[in-house]
A = this chain, B = another copy of it.
Amino acid sequence: VLDAARELGYVPSSHARSLTTGRTGAVGVLVPDITNPYYFELIRGTQHQLSALGILQLLVDTEESVSHEAAHLASLRKSVDGVILAASRLGDDQLAEAAAQLPLVAINRDVPGVPAVLIDTPGGMRLAVEHLASLGHRRLAFAAGLSAWQSRQRWDAIEDHCRGRGIEVQQLGPFAPTREAGAGAAAAVLNAGVTACIAYNDLLAIGMLEHLHARGVDVPRSLSVVGCDDIFGSSFCPPPLTTLTSPTEQAGRVAVKMLAELLAPSDAEVHAKRELLSTHLTVRSSTGEVPLVTHGRS
C-alpha cells in the first residue's frame, strides 16, 4: 500500500491538513516594495530561516500603500500561521490591531504591544554625525524619505546629535526611496548651501551621486554624502558610498525566530518582544589611501 503511494508520487495536501490542524505551514512576508534592494537581504534572511523550519514564504509586495497592506493582511489572516511586516505603512493603532488578530512581527516599527525587530539606525546616526563633524563639517542636510516613522526617527536622531555640537542641520524632502529621486534631492542639497548630506537611504544616495557626477560636483571634496543601509551596489558605485551598514539579513532571520516563538510558545513563556540590532558606519572613499580629513570633507 505504502509502496503504491510512493510510486504514484503521493504528497499529502497541506491545505487539507491545515484545515484540521489549524496550522498552514506558511507565513506571509509583506514588504513595501519588492524592487528596493534593501528588502532583498531581508527577504533572503526570512527565506533562509523559514525554509530551515520547513515553512513556506508568501512574499507580498504592498506597493507602499496602506490600503494594499491592510487588504493583504486581512486576506492572509486565515491562510498563514503568522506574518512578518517590514517597514509597515500602517498607523500605530492599525498595526496594534493587526498584531492582536494574528501572530505578527514588525521590522523597523516600534509600537507598544507589537513584537518587533528594530535596526538601530537612529543610534547609527550618531556615528554618521560624528564622522562628518570630525571631518570639519558644520552645515548638514538630511534628505528625508517617505516612510514617515523611519524617516522621522532618523531625523530626530540627527537633529539631536547636531544640537550641542554646534552643527547646523536642515531637513529636505521628503524624497522617494529611489535612484530617480536622487536628482531632485541633489539639486535641493546643492541649493541648501551645506557641505555634507545624510540621505534617508542608499538608493537615494546613489541617485544623488549620479546626479552630482553629471553636474560635475566632486564628491566628497565639494560635498559629502552619507547613505543608510549599505545595500547591494553601495560598495561599488562611484565613489563608493560611506553608509550606515544595517544587519538586514539578520533582521529577517531574527524576525522569523521571534515569529516561531510566538507560534510555539516554548518553556520560556515570557520572552523579549523587541530585538534591537545595531548598525555600524562603513566609511568608503573614492580617494583611496588619502585620509579624508586632509580635505576637511568626507
Q: Is A13 part of the contact surface with B, judged by Cβ < 8 Å?
A: yes
Q: How far is the CB of A2 from chain B (nearest CB, A)?
A: 16
Interface size on A, residues (CB 8 A): 41
Chain B residue with minimal CB distance to A77? B11
Collect the chain B residues with CB atoms within 8 Å of residue A13's CB. Answer: 19, 78-79
Could you tell me which residues of chain A, from 64 to 84, have a CB within 8 Å of some CB in chain B? Answer: 74-75, 77-79
Closest Cβ of chain B to A113, distance in Å, is: 18
Q: How many Å lie between the Cα of A40 and that of B232 in the bound state?
A: 12
Copies of this subunit? 2
Q: Cβ of A209: which chain B residues have Cβ within 8 Å of it?
A: 236
Which residue of B has the minimal Cβ distance to A36?
B40
State which residues 170-212 of A face B: CB under 8 Å: 206, 209-210
Interface stretch (choices A52-60, A126-134, A266-274)? A52-60
**A236 CA / B235 CA spacing, docked (Å):** 11
User: Which of B24, B56, B60, B236 makes the CB contact (< 8 A) with A206?
Assistant: B236
Given A37-B232, A58-B58, 15 additional A-B pairs, CB 8 A:
A11-B77, A11-B78, A15-B78, A15-B79, A35-B40, A37-B37, A47-B59, A57-B60, A58-B59, A206-B236, A233-B233, A233-B236, A236-B237, A236-B238, A237-B237
